Structure 1
């Protein structure tokens, strides 16, 4: 499996209904990021999109919100940066913690069962996607990146 950072094409925005997803989460979370990039594994038909960065005045410093599309499930992932380091245009590293991972409570029952039955595989693929995402997805300036996980 290979996740890569790309800009989202017009065709992919339509195919995966990215605009609808962004509108949905903007209603739920307030203003979200619409950077136009994603981390995608086309073979697995899986992608990761950062939709929001936490802010200090919301007591969410270091929190990142992602949508992780896996097995036709739209999964909301909330991570926290526990530690990070490195230099711009050089090697960087990050230690992630998992604050929350879940699908919409209104998702069909079969999707909820798929999520529960495949939780370990979802977490494994999420880690691969976060490693490929690096520090900033398609806009990353990291020459080498290492991620570790506290989950």
Structure 2
């Protein structure tokens, strides 16, 4: 089965311990109840936090979880620029920041 976008079924909230994961993102957490999942390969991607506040370095930050065959990976993306062309086509440039040592 391919990846599908769907609302998260109640039984999967417990199976993947989503409430525990959400608790790690108290500030600006999305409490998202939708995701992209491939059930056959046991993989999902879910947005767990969207930046907020007045500071651009926080406001332009999103956090994601990727579940890959039993491993949970946390991913942060920072928006560094975006715009719109005259014909209405928009664009965005994102960066994955280096890990903090």
Secondary structure in 2 aligned to 1:44?
coil
| Partner Cα distance (2:83, 2:44) in 1 | 25
CA RMSD after TM alignment: 2.6
Of structures 1 and 2, the one with the larger relative CO (CA 8 A, separation 6+) is 1
Aligned equivalent of 1:54: 51
| Partner Cα distance (2:93, 2:34) in 1 | 22
1:42 paired with 2:58, answer no
| Partner Cα distance (1:51, 1:18) in 2 | 10
Shift of 1:99: 1.7
C-alpha spacing 1:60/1:68, structure 2 compared with 1 (3 Å): same
Aligned equivalent of 1:98: 96
Structure number with the higher helix fraction is 1
Contact 1:65 1:79 in 2 (8 A): yes
Aligned equivalent of 2:75: 77
Contact 1:78 1:100 in 2 (8 A): no
C-alpha spacing 1:95/1:5, structure 2 compared with 1 (3 Å): farther
Aligned equivalent of 1:32: 29
Name the TM-score, length of structure 1 as normaliser: 0.52
Aligned equivalent of 2:17: 17
| Partner Cα distance (2:69, 2:13) in 1 | 18
Structure number with the higher strand fraction is 2
| Partner Cα distance (2:41, 2:89) in 1 | 28
Where do 5+ consecutive residues of structure 2 fail to align?
none
C-alpha spacing 1:91/1:37, structure 2 compared with 1 (3 Å): farther
